[in-house]
Homo-oligomer: A and B are copies of this chain.
Amino acid sequence: MNSEAPEPTKAGLPAHEQVYRDLRDAILFGELEPGEPVTIQGLVARLEAGMTPVREALRRLTAEGALNAMGNRRIVVPVLDVDAVDELSAARQALEPLLARRAATRVTPDDVAELTSIDDRLDHAIERGDVSTYLQENHAFHAKLNQVAEAPILTAMVDGLWLRFGPSLRIVCGQMGTRNLPDRHKDMLVALAKGDADATARAMADDVTQGMDLVRQAVPDQK
């Protein structure tokens, strides 16, 4: 046995990649909230990383729209206004049903099984009022579907959209708990199992509508 760091250092991933993933998950699942400033030095301390990797991860996230670079070299978690939510909604409606349609033509029974299992865990999280797990499983459901769709470019675009509304969605869920969190996953699973592309796309469109109606509630009081 060597005396070198025997710590289970994740994988052999570069530091900037690890920082990126940590930060992305923090944005997606709630650690950070809208308006919160994100400082390089703070991240260096929090993640115990060097500043170069942190810096690179930050540039990546801002390019994806997950973070907002103010003019004066300050970076904050985006605060969505009505217009932004409308845009996000339009973009999701334009792309996600497309992906769902593709997924319906490629899905295998194994995929359906996995999606069903994710949805079960999601339901459990709702029952327990576990917001964090709900958000993760909900994301996992859509991520799996996108993976099945085999459209890397469209998927990357949609991932970027999720990153943009993640923090706001978290706020809403945190306020209203997991009750009244409707989703169209059940309809979607049935449609997928039948290979019904139209029905799958329709279910996805509804799911997106419901999701964005939720996000809309996070918009600071309109003036």
Chain A residues near B (Cβ < 8 Å): 14, 16, 52, 55-57, 59-65, 73, 83-84, 87-88, 90-91, 94-95, 98, 151-154, 156-157, 160, 164
Contact = CB atoms under 8 A, between A and B. Distances in A.
B65 A153 contact: yes
Contacts of A52: 52, 55
A94 B98 contact: yes
A189 to B, nearest CB: 24
Chain A residues touching B, majority SS? helix
B73 A14 contact: yes
A84 B153 contact: yes
Contacts of A55: 52, 56
A167 B59 CA distance: 23
B56 A91 contact: no
